[in-house]
Structure 1
Amino acid sequence: MGKATDALQNIRGLIPVPMIMKIIEGKVDQLWAVEGGRDRYVEAMEFVVGRTERAAEVEDLARKYAVQQALRNYMRYKPRQITRQPVRDIEWLTSKRDPSRPMILSFFHHHRYDGMFASLKRAGADLTILVIEEGLDKDAFKVLRQHMRVVARGGRLIPAAGGTDAVVAALQPGVVLCIASDVPGRTPVDFLGRKVLGSFGAARAATLANAPVACVTSHQDGRGGSYLQVHEPLEPNDFADPGDLLAEILRIQGEAVLAWPEALDFPLQRFGRPDA
């Protein structure tokens, strides 16, 4: 069964993108025709935009989200295409950075985030990437192994273990450490008008290590393509406390997500819920 599954996954890399879209659209049509088939997609988009000015678009966004989720499963087998994303303002990670200080690069699991790191590397960034421990297991599922192969094209991988102390220890001079900012935690935060539970680790580590935080976000270019935007780094000392820094990180990331909500990967898994 495992070999058959691996073979099926590998076939995805051989299918041309136009054909992939036809396959996906057909599958989504079938899903939408089944009673309850769209429910989880509607729930995901309601969670993202239901408290925003885009709340009326939930039904339309749900279908787009279903397409994006399916497309992501195919595109990870086309690393050449997703690791060449255009990058704007890479200078914040290269020539405009103080090499004697560490830096945190905040990202969300948004659009082709797996190919984001290699795209930044191609533009000149030298990255260290914090990843889940399971991703470094050679016996992990084929999909996860393929995902990690793509991520590994962008820099050095270190496991997310040991908490804040381990993150601070990794923030050595010159290191640019990539940390996801849409992960469940125990810290109450506001995200797109909703109270959720987020992770305090990156903001606290940035403050303890005096490491600037640069956000990288994904955007549509208006011509059917996309690009990555590197934002001006946030200085921890400019904020009253790590909580205020975290709020600003989520504000920047939230604006990008609100502009392209259907591209957020598994929204219901990205934050904890206070009422859960």
Structure 2
Amino acid sequence: MNDVTPSMRLRSAVPDALVPAVVGARLLAKRNKPGPLARAREEMEFLLGTVAPDRVEEAARAYVVRDVMRSEMRYHPRLICRQEVQNLASLTAARATGRGVVVSFLHHGHYEGASAALAAADRPLGIVVSPDMLGPAAPTFLKQHVRAGTSTGNQPIDAGLGGKHLGGLLARGECLAIATDVPGSSVIEFLGEKRLGSSGAARLAAATNSLVVTMHAHCESDGRLWLSLGDAVEPRDFEDAEDLLRHLVQTQEEHVLAWPEGYHQPRLRWGVPQE
């Protein structure tokens, strides 16, 4: 399912201590190429254009750096898979109830390492992943993404198995990490703009009466990565799955604004409603 390729072995063989030097060399090579910065501006304009337009340029430059760091650090799980987790007690208590638990997250921060960090701090869980991330035909970077995310015992769960299968796991009391920012048909406001997202995770939680814990990514000025968890919420405390989805997205906004360049390809995650 996730065979190690020669390229993966080669990049993983670089000592962790030399990763900053590799990142620096790659950034130097990009310095005179307009493409990376132009693409980064598009990503940050999409994300910040309405709520913080004055921050787009600075965030775009930081995004270029983070993008290179992301592509290297996934080959060095020790750098991203042992992040400190604040309010871990929220997840531990939710799992102790014996009910299903949905860990709701965005593609913000080093999210493959984030799920691994949860397993290291608590115990393994299932990570719902796109079918194209599994199997021998998966691109090398996606294979490594899965490899890092499962390095502390997590189990990848193929989203292609469908809601019935995922709901069955939750009904049995399993804990599943599910991204909230995936393409869908639900119109929701995020950072001042209407976007199209998926209510799939919220609907699964509501249908199985599973607790929901949000996971948030953070990065300090010195580069230290860490995570925080929200308090568990009850699906029945919301009018419907769409109302729960709005809550899950809104709780992420302040954390994304605090570290916008940490959001990986936001244009890929959200659709734009047709006028």
TM-score (norm 2): 0.91
Give 2:70's aligned residue: 72
Match of 1:94 among 92, 95, 111: 92
Range 216-225 or range 124-133, more displaced: 216-225
Range 21-30 or range 108-117, more displaced: 21-30
Give 2:19's aligned residue: 17
Per-residue deviation, 1:20: 2.3
What is the alpha-carbon distance in structure 2 between the residues aligned to residue 26 and residue 255 of structure 1? Answer: 32
2:190 is aligned with 1:191: yes
Match of 2:83 among 77, 82, 85: 85
1:206-261 CA distance string (max 9 Å, x none)? 11111111001111234431211011011111111111100000011222111111
Give 2:265's aligned residue: 266
Per-residue deviation, 1:190: 0.8
Give 2:232's aligned residue: 233
Give 1:214's aligned residue: 213
Give 1:56's aligned residue: 54
What is the alpha-carbon distance in structure 2 between the residues aligned to residue 175 and residue 119 of structure 1? Answer: 18
1:110-159 CA distance string (max 9 Å, x none)? 11111112211111133111111122212322211111111122411110
Give 1:117's aligned residue: 115
CA contact (8 A) 2:191 2:253 kept: yes
1:9–1:157 Cα change, 3 Å: closer
The aligned length equals: 267
Structure 2 unmatched runs, 5+? none
What is the alpha-carbon distance in structure 1 between the residues aligned to residue 36 and residue 70 of structure 2? Answer: 19
Structure 1 unmatched runs, 5+? 1-5
Give 2:148's aligned residue: 150
CA contact (8 A) 1:102 1:171 kept: yes
Per-residue deviation, 1:9: 5.0
Percent of aligned pairs with the same amino acid: 36
Per-residue deviation, 1:174: 2.7
SS at match of 1:228: strand
What is the alpha-carbon distance in structure 1 between the residues aligned to residue 246 and residue 21 of structure 2? Answer: 41
1:99–1:156 Cα change, 3 Å: farther
What is the alpha-carbon distance in structure 2 between the residues aligned to residue 130 and residue 266 of structure 1? Answer: 19
What is the alpha-carbon distance in structure 2 between the residues aligned to residue 125 and residue 75 of structure 1? Answer: 23
Range 166-175 or range 124-133, more displaced: 166-175
Per-residue deviation, 1:170: 2.0
1:18–1:40 Cα change, 3 Å: closer
What is the alpha-carbon distance in structure 2 between the residues aligned to residue 195 and residue 163 of structure 1? Answer: 27
Give 1:179's aligned residue: 178
What is the alpha-carbon distance in structure 1 between the residues aligned to residue 50 and residue 116 of structure 2? Answer: 34
Give 1:130's aligned residue: 128
Aligned AA for 1:187?
S
What value does the CA root-mean-square deviation take over the aligned residues?
Answer: 1.8
What is the alpha-carbon distance in structure 1 between the residues aligned to residue 235 and residue 44 of structure 2? Answer: 32
Per-residue deviation, 1:42: 0.6
